[in-house]
Structure 1
């Protein structure tokens, strides 16, 4: 099992709660490798070295579409969370940085929506709705 995160920074076991359609399931694994970079987790999965948990859809949509990766947990996933674009308070005073941050947030939102639509076309709208409800 490959991952780039743990339940908390002090725990070296994978202990997540996965969700699907309102149900919750504790996933635990002691045979795991944690990488500090999600791209390394992605590469390990593509090379067939194991399974990768919690890869972001924006990273793997092309691999799903082209059949290099397949979802294996039948809709079980980490609960969704809000994404943020953030910077230091002092940097926010810089108009150029504020403009860039605003542009980046809108572009990220647009790309996430595009990936969701691609996922729905590839795996079905019901699959996407299951992921989005949690």
Structure 2
């Protein structure tokens, strides 16, 4: 539960010992954008599939702020190409504004939100 990136070596040792049984990680305390900087552990971390993720987002612009969430959920425990969704709050509801086939980087998500804000600010000015 909530393992830190500094524990990756121990997690890999445990995983290797348990192989071929699956290993489930709950609430890792690293961001998905950090995973590319794990060096030799990047392959190990990259071997995991995200089955559920719900992450709040907020981007501040010049004239407004945007709140939303990034969401992925595997149905019935079967991995079958579920997408990552970016929702933005509009008029009190969450609306899908983008879909990604793989986990997007934080920069990709920010770009979606900033572009949406720019369009919104341009059309309302």
* TM-score when normalising by structure 1: 0.27
Higher relative contact order (CA 8 A, sep 6+): 1
Higher strand share: 2
